[in-house]
């Protein structure tokens, strides 16, 4: 494996160590001494020759290579990536890339829940989207009032960081909180509430509100501001070449996702397969984007429709950037197969010398061999690999943890329901098979039902005969028909009813008084009416076919 060393050659050498993951087959490479496997957004870097000048601005984490304090962390984020201060002393190999993914394996006692949620900012007086200048004022105010570190790209503030939480901007100014990895749903909900309190404390003074929905309900693409992030300029130019809906996906959608850990390659495989098979149920239960440019769009989840359609109409070289990843169900699937897939997903950019270099449509496999035409002879770093992985958009995404990506953005009361659903829902479906003798104490050394071996295996057994055609059918139809989607001898709602019932049972056995977090989901299943259908009823009734009241209905 390649050793990592500072490009400056002055201050830090990262010694590779070999560790064995909990699997019968693979030897897993620990990427770096003291590197945290739980979050790929941080890495130890030393730039001592530059750190002496930072005492004047101690609250800013500079991401463009300008420097960092000795011994402090630099954020390795996709926007922008770190400068190439960490490079390979030897060329990276495919084995290194496999090892990077496998380094996410961790023992059960270290498993956590991570949540990420996006929301649309808008002016309360006009309902128009926030401009970047307003977002910059908001970020600066939050940083100064609540002690967050600022993340800069050149002269522009593009995010904040505090501990293991970060705030970032999506292409159209969607405001995202990436939460810390936490143990319980109470902690997750407390984190969400703290974030929203801080945001509202500032935005109320600015006349700004935030909207919880999956798709911008009123404004067209030309009305959406463009964030000053170099990677988005490249993506904005590339998207129209591979489909007509890519810019909508970038600028007009919001999601909520849950990030979950795995202990081994085999554990990752089972969770990946279960997540892919059952992702359409999450889409149905959290469908919340029925409006486009002021009118009903014919879908319950316009965001998911765009994702499905965009995947289907991509060119032959790009059609695997998103979707259901059928190869995950092959017997040969594992870390290596995901690496092979990602190596051939077309790239967007490489970040060098404080600039984004357009490599759109090119292959990371060629990059690995030093054959990228814009930078011939240049070899990738693990930062490059990490950032490439963030440009892949399947239903479930593998990094050093698994991301469940099927739910629309929603109001605050649903932000805690999604992790409750994923962690305790699908994988508690057969929890009752363990019997009454399974005590609550046995839950307390793990995060939740998802991490129980018996219930996970049961869900794998339940979905093992679902065909590729059935999984794709659910993905295609659920954005329009939600819980009313026919499936085998019934409706998708009937599957969801059992899921939520046993989810509640599992939460009660866990003993942390967390069942209330499922109330929102339980109500959707009980009535069979998705959040989007409730909005459409209001639109055709109380709202008099005007979409403007949705900004108040779904206001944070």
List, for residues 205-222, the tens digit of each pLDDT value: 999 999 999 999 999 999
Choose between 41 and 296: higher pLDDT: 296
pLDDT of residue 59: 34
Question: What is the tens place of the pLDDT at every residue in 279-334?
Answer: 898 899 999 999 999 999 999 999 999 888 766 544 433 445 677 899 999 999 99
Residues 6+ apart with CB under 8 A from 533: 287, 290, 300, 482
Query: How far apart are the two ends of the chain, measured CA to CA in Å?
Result: 47
Q: Is 395 within 8 Å of 383 (Cβ atoms)? A: no
How far is CA 503 from each of CA 450, 493, 496, 529, rounded to the nearest angstrom? 10, 15, 10, 19
Angle at alpha carbon of residue 302, lines to 297 and 304, rounded to 5°: 155
The yes-or-no verdict on residue 64 having pLDDT over 60 is no
pLDDT average, residue stretch 438-442: 29
Q: Which two tokens stand for residue 78?
A: 């996709």
pLDDT average, residue stretch 76-80: 38
Question: Bridge-partner residues for 545, per DSSP?
Answer: none
DSSP secondary structure string, 510-532? HTSS-GGGGHHHHHHHHH---HH
pLDDT of residue 309: 79
The yes-or-no verdict on residue 373 having pLDDT over 80 is yes
Choose between 85 and 36: higher pLDDT: 85
pLDDT average, residue stretch 61-74: 34
Question: What is the tens place of the pLDDT at every residue in 235-252?
Answer: 999 988 887 788 999 999
Q: Are strands 393-394 and 322-323 parallel, antiparallel or unpaired?
A: parallel
Q: Is the dihedral of CA 37, 151, 257, 164 positive or negative?
A: positive
pLDDT average, residue stretch 515-531: 89
Question: What is the tens place of the pLDDT at every residue in 415-432?
Answer: 887 876 765 443 333 333
Question: Bridge-partner residues for 73, per DSSP?
Answer: 44
The yes-or-no verdict on residue 2 having pLDDT over 50 is no
How far is CA 328 from each of CA 268, 339, 460, rounded to the nearest angstrom? 11, 12, 13
Question: Bridge-partner residues for 351, per DSSP?
Answer: 356
Q: Which domains does the chain have, with CATH numbers?
A: 95-345+392-431+442-554 (3.30.590.20)
Cα–Cα nearest to 518, from 428, 431, 456: 428
* Confidence band, pLDDT 50/70/90 cuts, at residue 515: confident
Which helix (H) or strand (E) segment holds residue 347: the answer is none
Alpha-carbon radius of gyration of the chain? 23
The yes-or-no verdict on residue 455 having pLDDT over 80 is no
CA distance 232 to 493: 38
Angle at alpha carbon of residue 206, lines to 203 and 209, rounded to 5°: 45
* Confidence band, pLDDT 50/70/90 cuts, at residue 517: confident
Question: What is the tens place of the pLDDT at every residue in 116-132?
Answer: 999 999 999 999 999 99
The yes-or-no verdict on residue 46 having pLDDT over 80 is no
Question: What is the tens place of the pLDDT at every residue in 137-168?
Answer: 999 999 999 999 999 999 999 999 999 999 99
* Confidence band, pLDDT 50/70/90 cuts, at residue 277: confident
pLDDT average, residue stretch 395-412: 93
Question: What is the tens place of the pLDDT at every residue in 465-484?
Answer: 989 999 999 999 999 999 99
The number of C-alpha atoms within 13 Å of 118 and in the hemisphere containing its C-beta is 25
pLDDT of residue 429: 33
Computed over every residue of the chain, the mean pLDDT equals 79
- Burial annotation 278-306 (CB, 10 A radius, 16+ → b, else e): bbbbbbbbbbbbbbbeeebbebbbbbbbb
pLDDT of residue 425: 41
pLDDT average, residue stretch 374-381: 96
Which helix (H) or strand (E) segment holds residue 455: the answer is helix 453-463
Angle between helices 185-206 and 417-424 (to 10 degrees): 160
pLDDT of residue 16: 31
* Confidence band, pLDDT 50/70/90 cuts, at residue 412: confident
The yes-or-no verdict on residue 36 having pLDDT over 50 is no
Q: What percent of the chain has a predicted confidence (pLDDT) above 70?
A: 72
pLDDT of residue 179: 95
How far is CA 16 from each of CA 1, 31, 45, rounded to the nearest angstrom? 7, 6, 14
Q: What percent of the chain has a predicted confidence (pLDDT) above 90?
A: 59
Question: What is the tens place of the pLDDT at every residue in 492-513?
Answer: 999 888 777 666 666 666 566 7
The yes-or-no verdict on residue 543 having pLDDT over 80 is yes
């Amino acid at each position: 494996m390649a050793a990592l060393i500072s490009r400056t050659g002055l201050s830090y050498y990262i010694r590779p160590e070999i560790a064995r993951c909990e699997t019968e087959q693979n030897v897993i490479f620990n990427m770096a001494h003291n590197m945290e496997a739980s979050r790929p957004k941080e890495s130890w870097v030393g730039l001592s020759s530059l750190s002496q000048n930072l005492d004047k601005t101690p609250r800013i984490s500079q991401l463009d290579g300008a420097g960092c304090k000795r011994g402090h962390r630099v954020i390795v984020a996709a926007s922008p990536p770190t400068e190439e201060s960490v490079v390979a002393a030897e060329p990276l190999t495919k084995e290194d890339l496999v090892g990077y993914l496998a380094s996410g394996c961790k023992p059960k006692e270290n498993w956590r829940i991570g949540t990420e949620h996006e929301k649309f900012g808008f002016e309360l007086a006009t309902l128009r989207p926030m401009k970047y200048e307003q977002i910059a004022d908001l970020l600066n105010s939050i940083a100064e009032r609540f002690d967050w570190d600022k993340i800069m790209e050149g002269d522009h503030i593009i995010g904040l960081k505090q501990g293991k939480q970060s705030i970032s901007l999506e292409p159209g100014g969607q405001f995202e909180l990436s939460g810390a990895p936490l143990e319980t749903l109470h902690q997750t909900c407390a984190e969400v509430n703290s974030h929203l309190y801080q945001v509202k404390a500032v935005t109320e003074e600015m006349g700004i509100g935030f909207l919880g929905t999956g798709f911008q309900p009123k404004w067209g693409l030309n009305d959406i501001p463009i964030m000053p992030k170099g990677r988005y300029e490249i993506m904005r130019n590339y998207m129209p070449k591979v489909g007509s809906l890519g810019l909508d996906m970038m600028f007009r959608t919001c999601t909520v996702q849950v990030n979950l850990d795995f202990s081994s390659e085999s554990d990752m495989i089972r969770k990946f397969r279960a997540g892919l098979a059952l992702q359409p149920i999450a889409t149905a239960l959290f469908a919340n984007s029925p409006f486009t440019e002021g009118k009903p769009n014919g879908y319950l989840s316009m965001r998911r429709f765009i994702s499905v359609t965009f995947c289907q109409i991509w060119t032959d070289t790009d059609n695997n950037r998103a979707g259901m990843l059928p190869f995950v169900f092959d017997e040969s699937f594992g870390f290596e197969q995901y690496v092979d897939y990602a190596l051939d997903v077309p790239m967007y950019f490489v970040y060098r010398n404080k600039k984004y270099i357009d490599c759109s449509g090119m292959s990371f496999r060629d990059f690995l061999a030093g054959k990228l035409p814009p930078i011939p002879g240049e070899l990738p770093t693990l930062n490059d690999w990490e950032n490439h992985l963030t440009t892949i958009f399947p239903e479930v995404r593998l990094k050093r943890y698994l991301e469940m990506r099927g739910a629309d953005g929603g109001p605050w009361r649903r932000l805690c329901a999604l992790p409750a659903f994923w962690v305790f829902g699908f994988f508690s479906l057969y929890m009752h098979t363990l019997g009454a003798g399974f005590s609550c104490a046995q839950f307390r050394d793990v995060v939740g039902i998802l991490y129980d071996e018996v219930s996970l295996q049961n869900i794998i057994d339940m979905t093992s005969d679902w065909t590729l055609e059935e999984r794709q059918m659910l993905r295609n139809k659920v954005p329009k028909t939600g819980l009313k989607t026919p499936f085998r001898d019934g409706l998708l709602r009937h599957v969801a009813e059992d899921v939520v019932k046993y989810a509640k049972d599992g939460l009660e056995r866990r003993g942390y008084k967390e069942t209330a977090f499922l109330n929102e989901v339980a109500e959707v299943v009980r009535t069979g009416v998705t959040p989007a259908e409730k909005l459409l009823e209001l639109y055709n009734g109380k709202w008099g076919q005007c979409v403007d009241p949705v900004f108040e209905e779904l206001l944070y």
